[in-house]
Amino acid sequence: RTARSKGLTQTTTIVRHALRNSMIPVVTILGPLLAGILTGTFIVEFVFGIPGMGDFFITSVNNRDYPIILGSTLVFAIFLVLGNIMVDIMYAWMDPRIRFD
């Protein structure tokens, strides 16, 4: 009501007040969703025989190739950490009240 009484258009009111606040739960789920996508690649690549990082990781586990296992785990962990950092940055961008000390 206040935004409309200030003379803002309906679109501006929805985007600035409703959409930004409603996107916070959507951004929250992006971190676990990224983890699910990364673990899902193992299954999809193994079942369908698609060559990729997941298939490479599973083959290295079966062959007990420890340096490749460690390297692949590190790459997937870096992707996961970067995804969570992106979620934190999007929190601060979407809602200026959220600050990380």
Average confidence (pLDDT) over 44-51: 85
pLDDT at residue number 100: 67
CA-CA distance, 48 to 14, in Å (whole number)?
44
CA-CA distance, 57 to 59, in Å (whole number)?
5
Average confidence (pLDDT) over 19-42: 83
The predicted-structure confidence for 57-78, as pLDDT tens digits, reads as follows 888 999 999 999 999 889 888 9
State yes or no: pLDDT of 28 exceeds 80: yes
DSSP string, the chain: -HHHHTT--HHHHIIIIIIHHHHHHHHHHHHHHHHHHHHHHHHHHHHHT--SHHHHHHHHHHTT-HHHHHHHHHHHHHHHHHHHHHHHHHHHHH-TT----
Tokens 């692949």 correspond to 72
